[in-house]
Structure 1
Amino acid sequence: MSMDDGSSKKPAADGRSRSSQPVLQSPGPDSNFLDWELVITAYFDSVGIDYVIESPLPERPSPAWTADNKTVCAILTQTIDSSNLIAIRPYKRNAHGMWNAIVRAHQDSSTGGRVYWLRKLLLTKMDGDDVLTHINTMAKAYDRLNSLVTTDKPLTVADVHSAALLSSIPDDWMGCVSHLMNQEGTKTKPNNGKRPGDRNKKRHCDFCNADGHNLNNCNNTRRILDEHKAGDDNRTPLPSPPAHAHAPPKGVCNHTRPSLRGGFDRTPLGVLISQGNRLPRGGQKNPPLRDGREEEIVELI
């Protein structure tokens, strides 16, 4: 029905047409929101004023819209428990805002809300022999969960995993976990292997003194290293000495001796001994011993 034709059916002023409407109880697990919503929306639809809660209030509403907005506000305030007034008080002259506030108070569409009712379905056990009561309890949990699952917020495998995880931890952890899970938009994020600060960190190359890359992927440093490597590969290697050079006589040990210039003197020790040379120390003769005798070199056989 049009919202501006002024011919919409008005609810009875005495309220007798609303005598059978339920009263919305306090928000919580035992809330009767789903039943109350079903009855109240059917009533609004029957009298042609449901558009008021479906569309935002215009800046300049028509006289018909203004009248219907006042009627819906009056009906909502009279069909809810006083514990719900705190949620709708900021919207006391806006039926659309008032309706959405009630929905948010009773429909926890966050991850925590879905996980709560999913756990209810998974963990509820039948007490006693009353099967019908148990079936009704499970049906209520199903309805509450189903009302929170939408196209924009579907039930995912992550929700099932969260419910199973919460069921496996001790009860004294539930307060902390519930506080975290009740935050809107809480969800598991895939690990992309990057640290949180890497995303906003600006890359800078100290070699080029330029932004946009670093030393790990600098083309200039890669080119210089490749040229240096190519130069080493093309360099002519030094010739190796003949294998028979400085070969020691048979029976003489072939040892090297340290050099004062660093490294080792590669002249075989046996050659020095066979030629009657003494071991030089920095190019000088061996100093005499205390008794005047020079240090003798024992031939190694």
Structure 2
Amino acid sequence: MTNMRLNEAGVDKRETKIKAKDVNVYYGASQAIKSVSVDILDNTVTAFIGPSGCGKSTFLRCINRMNDTIDICRVEGDILLDGADIYDKKVDPVTLRARVGMVFQKPNPFPKSIYDNIAYGPRIHGLVSTKADLDQVVEKSLRRAALWDEVKDRLDAPGTGLSGGQQQRLCIARAIATAPEVLLMDEPCSALDPIATAQVEELIDELRRDFSVVIVTHSMQQAARVSQKTAFFHLGVLVEYGDTTQIFTNPEDQRTQDYITGRFG
């Protein structure tokens, strides 16, 4: 259900889903993220843009604790999901990642059947009790990823046998099969052709009805097309964050203006 309320002016006001405050990230002695604070809204696509190495993917991976897998990485500050600290010692990162799904730059289906790619998450998290329930989750996830009609007659075929665009939609279906609340996407279209990219972008727009979607993209055109909020990162700093239209047409910071107009990056 869309989590919105009307403010005094009668305008839709979406709830904050993720609240980051003074987040710093270090790789050994090197600081990759510098005091980032941002509120990410529910039922919204938020784009992280900026030049290579600016920290946008590093910050994205803080939101589902993927940086925990890097020995030399240290995260400081607060990241709250629905008001609860995701870095609290009581939080199981595996359980967190069922709530905060992730899709990577290159399609990475498991070396399993199409069916088992989708069924994997619900099985390990104990979300289904019968084969019929699992069948339903698999079909629903593939439908939501706009892939069901293309694969329904070959669910036993390997996921790795699909085209690149189909593999990426399979990975999106796999990510949403655990019924997450947030979907993180790290340059999900960079390995895809224009037609597959358009299909995934259309899918992203549909998914925001049910999820808070955060996408890292090098394509400013893509950010402008799919997102409602945009955050511009530069040298590990969140320079500017706001409505996508405003960021692209009337940015407040000169660095944002210079990046968008191609003066650097």
Is TM more than 0.5 here?
no
**Higher normalized strand content (fraction of residues):** 2
* TM-score, normalization by structure 1: 0.20
Greater relative contact order: 1 or 2 (C-alpha under 8 angstroms, separation 6 or more)? 2
Q: Which has the larger radius of gyration?
A: 1
When the two structures are superposed, what TM-score results if normalisation uses the length of structure 2? 0.22
More helix by share: 1
